[in-house]
Amino acid sequence: MNDLGWIDPILGAARPRVMGALLRYFRTLDTAEEAFQEACLRALKSWPQNGPPRDAAAWLILVGRNAAMDQVRRQAKQTELPDEAVLSDLDDAEASLADRLDGEHYKDDILRLLFICCHPELPATQQIALALRIVCGLSVKQIAQAFLVSEAAMEQRITRAKARIGTAGLAFETPGAPERAERLAAVAAMIYLLFNEGYSSSSSREAEARKPLAEEAIWLGRLLLRLFPAEPEIMGLTALMLLQRARAKARFDGEGNIILLEDQDRSLWSRPRIAEGLALIDKAMRHRRPGPYQIQAAIAALHARAQHAEDTDWAQIDLLYANLERLQPSPVVTLNRAVAVSKVRGPEAALEMIEPLGARLQGYFYFHGVKGALLQQLERPREAREAFGRAIALASTPAEAAHIRQHLDRLSC
């Protein structure tokens, strides 16, 4: 086979494990990255001829580590060392390294790699950019495109982020259970941020550019789940992302305008993603340890299970939002709940529920959009028009404004 398409996915899949191990050896991101690059170059030379090694990650760790140590030695002695016949005696070394990899510690290596990207001093966008570069292995150009900024700006952002975190204060010993749980929560939050960065697009063009962000977030979710298979919140997070992403093709019309959930063509929803999401949420529920990701996934699951918009189990969604409000009180959650309440108990009850949120959400586009829609249902056109007017003023994209304008048009006929 001349087609080398099979190699890239193997390198990509091995990346977190290999980078995690190399970071533990060398303690600096830059050296780990260089070692990984070198190992990949050698793989591209060796694998097409010799076939892929039994354990690609172990091969890459070993070759990367040797290459980087050669480099260090050369710099130290300023003399040329003879080229090692690395590949000839690799089999044994590979086997013993693979045995060690079977231990649990590679999980902490990968978690550490993800966790350093979540450094609290880094703004969220830098955390995400760093994770995309270091863990997912996206090129700076790809990341820049997804964030809709120039390559130079992104390069600078990533360099600055790396300089800021250093690895000086980072614990390399195996973390204890509470610390591991803390790291896991921080990483989960970063992954969900990344997903939202990719998902919250409000035009089809933007959504297309940002699609890789959402895809990488799902990839990271699955990765985390393989490392920690019994964590219900990680199941919930991955399910939530899969179920939301399943709707991607139905979210925009031919002109690139938003199509709301209830108007979407459900035959465009991705069935395999929904199946995977539902399977994960089923598994998570068995643990009876609900958390915000699981509840949001359960809400998304109810939408996914409804064949038609009118089949949606709004009463159950209302209950789930009530639980979410308890676990994670926020005016935005209450606003979302109000939409469910309007379906179950009518627009009057929903309006009553969101009225007290006005002070905190007065700068929030969706608040005025929802309020306008409720007032419209209650046949209070003057107030509805006012709310929609505010929403348009707060719209951050033409697509959002266009959507509200449709409501206004309907009011005036």
Partner 1 sequence: MLYAILCYNSEEAIGSWSKDYHDETMARLYAVNDKLARQGRLGPVARLLPTTAATTLRKGREEMVIDGPFAETKEQLLGFYVIDCTSLEEALDTAKELAKANPGTGSYEIRPVAEFHPSQLPENKPAP
Contact residues: partner 1, CB under 8 A = 1, 3, 5-10, 12-14, 52, 54-56, 219, 222-223, 225-226, 229-230, 235, 238, 271-272, 274-276, 278-280, 283, 286
Q: Cβ closer to partner 1: 13 or 401?
A: 13
Six token digits for residue 123: 């703004």
Min CB(222)–partner 1 separation in Å: 5
Min CB(18)–partner 1 separation in Å: 12
Q: Cβ closer to partner 1: 13 or 319?
A: 13
Q: Which residue has the tokens 């990765």?
A: 223
Nearest-angstrom CA–CA distance, 356 and 6:
56
Q: Cβ closer to partner 1: 301 or 340?
A: 301
Q: Cβ closer to partner 1: 142 or 342?
A: 142
Nearest-angstrom CA–CA distance, 84 and 124:
43
Min CB(281)–partner 1 separation in Å: 10
Min CB(294)–partner 1 separation in Å: 14
Residues in contact with 281: Cβ distance below 8 Å, sequence separation at least 6, in sequence order: 235, 236, 239, 243, 294, 297, 298, 301
Min CB(10)–partner 1 separation in Å: 5
Min CB(173)–partner 1 separation in Å: 23
Q: Cβ closer to partner 1: 72 or 279?
A: 279
Nearest-angstrom CA–CA distance, 132 and 213:
8
Q: Cβ closer to partner 1: 99 or 262?
A: 99
Min CB(197)–partner 1 separation in Å: 20
- Expressed in angstroms, the distance from the first to the final Cα of the chain is 65
Nearest-angstrom CA–CA distance, 130 and 185:
18
Six token digits for residue 301: 């699951």
Q: Cβ closer to partner 1: 206 or 215?
A: 215
CB 162 within 8 A of CB 30: yes
Give Cα 77 distance to the centre of its chain: 45
Q: 164 — phi, psi (to 5°)?
A: -70, -40
Four-point Cα dihedral 252, 189, 231, 201, nearest 10: 0
Min CB(29)–partner 1 separation in Å: 21
Q: Cβ closer to partner 1: 3 or 310?
A: 3
Min CB(53)–partner 1 separation in Å: 9
Start-end of H helices in 78-170: 90-101, 105-116, 124-134, 140-147, 151-165
Nearest-angstrom CA–CA distance, 18 and 402:
47
Six token digits for residue 349: 């009850």
Residues in contact with 213: Cβ distance below 8 Å, sequence separation at least 6, in sequence order: 128, 132, 146, 194, 195, 197, 198, 199
CB 162 within 8 A of CB 131: no
Q: Is 4 left (phi over 0), alpha (psi -120 to 50) or beta?
A: alpha
Q: Cβ closer to partner 1: 1 or 168?
A: 1
Q: 324 — phi, psi (to 5°)?
A: -65, -40
Q: Cβ closer to partner 1: 136 or 161?
A: 136
Min CB(187)–partner 1 separation in Å: 16
